[in-house]
Chain A
Amino acid sequence: MKSSTGIEDELKSDFFNLLAFLVTSARNCVEEPKLYGPFRLVDGASRLIELLEEAQMADEFLVGVRKKIDDGKYSVMDDKDKFIKLLDDLTMDFADKLKGGGGV
């Protein structure tokens, strides 16, 4: 079993990596195709949920969101409409969740 300090160090390192991802993405979005901005944002959401899963803080809804993102995110490369629909669906999933429904 890992000590609480060990877990904290791991979390710190994971969050450092996530933050480096966000900052680097921000820099690259200056030149990258417009649609890569939304792509990095949802990919960042997926990475954040992954961290929550590792810390056992993600519920079924969030795990479903991550799977949905990971299954559909690469459509940004060759099917713009499909990718935008994924973003719409995810947004509605969160709205449904807020209203008390299931989502995902």
Chain B
Amino acid sequence: MKRFLTLSALSFIILIGFSGIDKLFAQNYYITADTLYTMAGDPVIDGVVLVKNGKIERTGKASSIKKPKGYEELSAVVVTPGFIDAHSVVGLAGIYNQDADQDQLETSDPIQPELRAYDAYNAREDLVVFLRNLGITTVHTGHGPGALISGQTMIVKTTGETVDEAVIKPQHMVAMTLGSNLDSDFSKPGTRAKQVAMLRETFVKGQQHLQKTKDERKEKRDLKMEVIADLLEGKLSALVTVHKAQDIMTAIRLSEEFGFDLVLDGAAEAYTLLDEIKEAGVPVVVHPTMIRTYGDATHATLDNAAKLHKAGIPFYFQSGYEGYVPKTRVVTFEAAVAVANGLDRTAALKALTIQAAKFLGLAKSVGSLEKGKDADIVLYNGDPFEYTTNVEKVLINGKIVAEEGI
């Protein structure tokens, strides 16, 4: 009997050794920081974050919180919550930039709201790993600009080996584009006025779809109209990529005519319409600060985010979409350059964390280091915004997912 017990204990230990102890017992962490940005209050000097079973257990001053037994200690100069990219295409758009890994835009039809990001997201995409290594832990990604309605977006954590392991929200917004950035493959629309006419037609059809009885809708399902109906009923919002002032106003006009929730995406000329955007109550996922100044974004400025902030308009950062290089941008770098051009530094940090979490409806789980939230934590050897600072470790759901130090 004794021998049997010993053997059992031995095999148990061996099993643990082979199967990965992390699956049986999540590692708990005691993370100290010279400066801890919880984003739930002022930065804590000599702060500490306790991570237990993948969640934030507690934060505070290191002097008042002792390291519990069995917790592994990590330390860094600066610690922040994982950053949130409020609009990307990574996972649909891949690193190679070849037809085979570019799924962010389908050009068979300019209006395809039925396309789900969920069906196209590659959780193992190198660009996703790249962003994760730089401390981007939550990404609002999906169909890109280039079609009137290019499809849906989703929200993922930059972890997991399958879409199901990565996904937080499989369906989040409907991606739309107005202006001159529509793909040239489309035979129509060919003008701005035609763009709007086609969209209005679609929304009118959506209204008619909603007038049908539930049974009628069930009997003859319409994937396109189901999404448009969700948009018109406020279950989904429209993420409309626009840069020029007249296109920004068109997006606002359409949202008011049909009563859908609008998010302005890009909005290079937003600084010319601060009063109008504020009055419309529309948030802005502002273009990457270092966007190239050509095409519709010719009049882009480095201080657009600063001006939106001063005007009291909610704004968030995006990596956006690039047809060539850099195949993905990094919101940390874009925010940093916005700060260098007049944006309040704390406002920039908030836009990357707690404000973005609220915007995406995720404030209960991410965006700040508060008790009970997911332990998505980034450790840096300096100011996160400085070019020369390295990301030393990244934790998602309490697990170390990056420690290369880039």
State yes or no: do A and B come from one complex.
Answer: no
Residues of B bordering A, CB below 8 Å: none
